[in-house]
Structure 1
């Protein structure tokens, strides 16, 4: 069995008595104080996440813009230098290689952030797509640590550690500066449904930054947050997770992220397949579900209607914010009607669920 990889913050997690698990080949904290407490802390105060396992790829060269345009479904010409773009990256058949963030420095320089478990696969895919382009790719993942500070008090806490005016960093924009004297890339995105920042630094500086941010937010009730709460937070906000809502067998149109597919673009990998799918009409759609009867729907549980299999659960859990059991499911398109009921098969038993609007949670802006 391969040895688990560790982030530069492994010893900090051990010191905080985190429960550590294998997450895509990484030894990562799933919880510290407990999932529900950590979840509520991020919704009401602020939480600090170790996301140093994420992958980062630097893209430079004369044809960097046209390469990135062909690589992703979204349109990178729609953003300015200093701005960030979310996009799926697809196979020619329309399935999803990964979903990622593109940081735009200029037309000859982009920085792409990918999911941890997909980094090697994504980088190999990018290198393959780069053939024929005047572009250089560099997998910087091992040279970068990443912290995520999320929650309504994030700006207040981080502002005390940097001279950058954080109020000037708009949602999905980034800047370079110092945090506690450490050179960092600071961006304002997130994966929780709350306001927040990502702080990228050299790996050896990450433990010091981690401790300083926790110290700076102590009076505001900040806590370190594990993968358990990260999942419930993103799920309530209907932020998709690769391996659940996204995958090689699921297209971005089916996954409900068609807004990030710009079919008007001249070309991109997967365009023809997605155009055909849109023209034909979707055979299945992602829906939100609330459990009417007792039970928690888990990922990959089957969904039935009148005893017939009609789909499967992509994500499901107890929602700490809503205090109810909810789920996302990929179901036959003709059954994806608001208010209609379906059965989730939980341990061999049909348990009733109702289709409800999503996202389940949306913060007040």
Structure 2
């Protein structure tokens, strides 16, 4: 009997929910206490469309945390490990957030709308509560709240052409992670060059939740010339591309990791003049030595379906890491995974194995992104 997800009042719907149902969504997951589409009945077609054409995604569950007020910049700088000096209005930055123990708790994109107004476009954890708690404890003059903002994404090599048709030639000059506030036939948007794929694309931050179905329909009609179709953030493509997924590759409650282990060390600026959450702990981690590293794996044998996680990674019967997510790569025609591996184990180690629960498979270390 197939599993079902209950639609109830404790989990919110995005402004695009009705449009995705009308377009044949077949499954949902839950992300930031909201429904997010899983697939539309043709995972292989959705994967091919992302790699070769253009896909449209309801990512309204990618919530925004707005920080606004005279001390907004003070709080934003204190929350992230990254040095934000020189960040300009209209610019986005990828900003790891850690707790006081140096454990990654989210990896949002920061959008600077003005010197006193910022959005954190967050992954799946309750950052609004974290940010407000820190702001209150530090006596800062600002507000932390969730605005009426819901992104949808257009991703794939033909997303540029579609975006040009929708918004004009100016969008082709938009730098990665930069954005502009626009009105699209009266619909208020922030349009950013960004998205959770390596195929390129844009995110349309809808600023009026009553117009979700209208925006979805307009993008769908304009995209017909490029073979657009609905989909969802694609696990196969993200594995192949080596994109970090907070919640899959690390989650504070289940298998915590620090930024150095996750390959984000370049975004930990320990020498900046201002203080930030986790700085002391992160310096101590470096002094002790980073214990693990994030790697790709090739998994031998028959194709492996996407798994629940984590899975044990062993060498001669001893645990040497954790497999965060595994799946089958259509492009490489083999099963691949992302793992956290002990630094004592070399990349050329031939005796690794993954416990799939029902089966144990040989594994070998691969470079990210997968070639």
TM-score w.r.t. length of structure 2: 0.90
Find the partner of 1:304 among 306, 314, 321.
Answer: 314
Aligned position for 2:242: 238
Aligned position for 2:232: 226
Deviations 1:296-329 (A, max 9, x none): 2733111100111111111110112322210011
Gaps of 5+ in 1: none
Aligned position for 1:94: 102
The 1:204–1:243 alpha-carbon spacing in structure 2 relative to 1, beyond 3 Å, is: same
Q: Is the 8 A contact 2:71 2:142 kept in 1?
A: no
Partner of 2:152, secondary structure, is strand
Deviation, 1:123, is 0.8
Q: 1:128-139 residue pairs with structure 2 within 5 A? A: 128-131=133-136, 132-139=138-145
**Pair 1:313-2:319 in alignment:** no
Which 10-residue stretch deviates more, 338-347 or 204-213?
338-347
Cα root mean square deviation, aligned: 1.9
Q: Is the 8 A contact 2:26 2:41 kept in 1?
A: no
The 1:49–1:150 alpha-carbon spacing in structure 2 relative to 1, beyond 3 Å, is: same
Aligned position for 2:51: 43
Find the partner of 1:171 among 173, 176, 195.
Answer: 176
Q: Is the 8 A contact 2:132 2:144 kept in 1?
A: no
Q: Is the 8 A contact 2:80 2:98 kept in 1?
A: yes
Aligned position for 2:3: none
The 1:174–1:291 alpha-carbon spacing in structure 2 relative to 1, beyond 3 Å, is: same
Partner of 2:344, secondary structure, is helix
Matched residues in 2 for 1:338 and 1:218: separation?
Answer: 47
Partner of 2:96, secondary structure, is strand
Deviations 1:27-66 (A, max 9, x none): 3321114112101101111100001112112222222222
Q: Is the 8 A contact 1:88 1:98 kept in 2?
A: yes
Q: Is the 8 A contact 2:110 2:118 kept in 1?
A: yes
The 1:192–1:36 alpha-carbon spacing in structure 2 relative to 1, beyond 3 Å, is: same
Aligned position for 2:217: 211
Deviation, 1:178, is 2.5
The 1:341–1:286 alpha-carbon spacing in structure 2 relative to 1, beyond 3 Å, is: farther
**Pair 1:344-2:354 in alignment:** yes
Aligned position for 1:199: 204
Gaps of 5+ in 2: 1-5
Partner of 1:326, secondary structure, is strand
Q: Is the 8 A contact 1:101 1:112 kept in 2?
A: yes
Which 10-residue stretch deviates more, 87-96 or 75-84?
75-84
Find the partner of 1:284 among 288, 292, 297.
Answer: 292
Q: Is the 8 A contact 2:57 2:154 kept in 1?
A: yes
Find the partner of 1:327 among 337, 350, 359.
Answer: 337
